[in-house]
Structure 1
Amino acid sequence: MVDRANASGHIACMPERAAAMPNVLVIDNYDSFTWNLVHLIGPLCGTVDVVRNDALTIPDIRARAPDAIVLSPGPCTPTEAGICLDVVRDLSEEIPIFGVCLGLQAIGQAFGGDVVRAPLPLHGKVSTIRHGARGLFRGLNDSFEATRYHSLVVDRATCPAALRVTAEADGLIMGLEHAERPLHGVQFHPESIRSQHGTEIVKNFFDLATAWNTARDRTRADVH
């Protein structure tokens, strides 16, 4: 279970929990769903630091040396999402990153994809997510139900070659991963109570992040 946050946005997990990921930085895109997401990932972490998207710099993040970064949902476009595009461009070769909703859109735009209006805005709609059972979706059923809150999508026609589509719904991109970097995202909201497999998706990301960090002997000192 998750302990309470202090005034700086620092959350400590209960000490009896074994942490899948010791230290996670969540970049908050001024969205109420951020805290739902924090409470989903919190039980799997040693600590979670939540910082607004306009309250830190790339050097700040390197100094924090998180084991992974989560880009939260948000009400705006990637261009308006503070440091998020720079995080993807500048840090995704160094630090594993997981983007949710707006976070996925930032991943797509950072690599040259267009973020466009969805055919229909969906707010609280449950959709069937289909995937290839790899990466974030390893070990899951071929399809599952998840909640969507978005009016923008990464345009499939302009999705860059470096990014692989890992999930879809209604012909739209619902999941992305980078071909070489530890960079993953979902368009739907795994933290929603009506989404299936939210915890499993986060665990899969942390497994991928841990494997990346371990293979490169990445320690907190390496990032300074």
Structure 2
Amino acid sequence: MNTPATSPRASSTPPPVDGQLVLADGQVFEGELFGAIVPIATGEVVFNTAMTGYQEVITDPSYAGQIITFTTPHIGNYGINATDFESVGTFCRGVVVRELARRRSNHRAQADLGALLFERGVPGIAGIDTRRLTRVIRDTGAIPGAFGTASEAELLAAARAEPGTDGVDLVRTVTTPVGYTIESLDPQSQRTIVAMDFGMKRNIARSLARYGRVEVVSAGTTAADILARDPDGVFLSNGPGDPAMAPYAVEAISEMLGKVPIFGICLGHQLLGMALGASSIKLPFGHHGANQPVKNLITNRVEIASQNHNFAIDAATLPSSVAMTHVNLNDDVCQGIRTMDAHAFSVQHHPEANPGPHDADYLFQEFADLMDAFASTKKAGA
């Protein structure tokens, strides 16, 4: 998934047409369709509270299977460009906004948001009361929905037939089909990091490359294949959906525990937790945005973090050998774990922060330190 994205074209897009968003519970929201105009688009409707970074959000593979509602009322005002893609494409099912900017005002812009969605086949709907919609999701939880040009009855039937992200292996739909390598940005570093791609964003790979050569492998790669590369560390990336639907990844991680340092984020955090013996749970409406407050239980400092997930590790099921290191201050959900016995740690948030704050960037250095300490211990025991 490291192939450069093609430059977005500033081609003309179809004029907006009237449409409806219908939730599975029967609630209807009227608006104007833009982007790819389709009869019916379905997905699990979630809300994202980031104030900027809509292009990075839309191109984040973690949103596979979901319709993204932006709580910021004005979306598209600074356009889009080829540099800010976080993957080779767009994996979300649709985009919902209050007001779509028809003009862009940024010197980096190469096209507008509507052009991007049209070119990539992603439907969008504007003019929606996103404040009301967000309150619905917050009160009832993430809910299947459908929008498009079809009739209200057809959209309701489609919304009720939409399975959402429960019990679906979405990782297979976003992982890289062929492995690739990113050379180290530090010419002095001799480290080799194997990154398991469950839906990895580009800036994560760039962040890892500051500390060594990064070999990205597909989600289904076995532990034997990874360990045969003799890595200094293994990174477990972000990704979409239900971690219980990726038992192959949990198995591979389990077989690597104690043999190599491991660092996981987002879905990778959940998969590591399951490999260590914990269970996963689905949150009512998840954490989606660049302003989530997280407390580091080791330093007692509060960090603002970028997040996107609907599932989490059930802290009550963590074995005694695993310590919880971070907690979400909004709902007390487990945000980080560490086990010194297995030389592994993980966090629920995105430390690479695209988009978002850089409060958690230190975690990459902690991973580098863990790899170095493990290598020293291994050398001393040889």
TM-score by length of 2: 0.49
Distance 1:218 1:110, change over 3 A: farther
Q: 1:106 is aligned with what amino acid?
A: L
- Matched-pair contact (CA < 8 Å) for 1:189–1:195: no
Task: Please give the secondary structure, in 1, of the residue aligned with 2:323.
Answer: strand
Unpaired runs of 5+ in structure 2?
A: 5-177
Shift of 1:34: 3.1
Match for 1:24: what amino acid? I
Q: Identify the residue that residue 327 of structure 2 maps to in structure 1.
A: 168
Match of 1:17 in 2: 187
Partner of residue 51, structure 1: 217
Count of aligned pairs between the two proteins = 203
Written as runs of structure 1 = structure 2, the 5 A alignment for 1:1-224 is 8-14=179-185, 17-19=187-189, 22-29=191-198, 31=199, 33-45=200-212, 47-54=213-220, 56-81=221-246, 83-133=248-298, 142-169=301-328, 170=330, 171-193=332-354, 194-217=356-379
3-state SS of the aligned residue for 2:204? helix
Q: Which runs of 4+ in 1 moved over 4 A?
A: none
Amino acid at match of 2:262: I
Question: d(CA) in 1 for partners of 2:251 and 2:243?
Answer: 10
Residue 104 of structure 1 aligns to a residue in which SS?
helix
SS in 2 for 1:152: strand
Q: What is the letter of the counterpart of residue 90 of structure 1?
A: E
* Equivalent position SS for 1:153: strand
* 1:69–1:98 Cα contact (<8 Å) kept: yes
Tell me the SS of whatever aligns to 1:76. Answer: coil
Q: Structure 1, residues 182-220: CA drift from partner, whole Å, max 9, x if none?
A: 11000011112313234311001110221022112189x
Structure 1 unaligned blocks of 5 or more: 135-140
Percent sequence identity over matched residues?
25
Task: Specify whether residues 34 and 81 from structure 1 end up closer, same or farther in structure 2 by C-alpha distance, changes over 3 A only.
Answer: farther
Are the structure 2 counterparts of residues 26 and 124 from structure 1 closer, same or farther at C-alpha, using a change threshold of 3 Å?
same
CA distance in 2, matches of 1:215, 1:123: 39
How far is the alpha carbon of 1:18 from its aligned partner?
Answer: 2.7
Contact 1:84 1:103 in 2 (8 A): no
RMSD: 2.3
Give 1 or 2 for the bigger CA radius of gyration.
2
* TM, length-normalised to structure 1: 0.82
Q: If each structure's strand is expressed as a fraction of its own residues, which one has the higher value?
A: 1
Tell me the CA shift for residue 174 of structure 1: 0.7
Ranked by relative contact order (alpha carbons within 8 Å, sequence separation 6 or more), the top structure is: 1
Quick one: distance in 2 between partners of 1:213 and 1:105?
26
Cα gap change, 1:8 to 1:125, in 2 (>3 Å): closer
Distance 1:115 1:108 in 2: 8
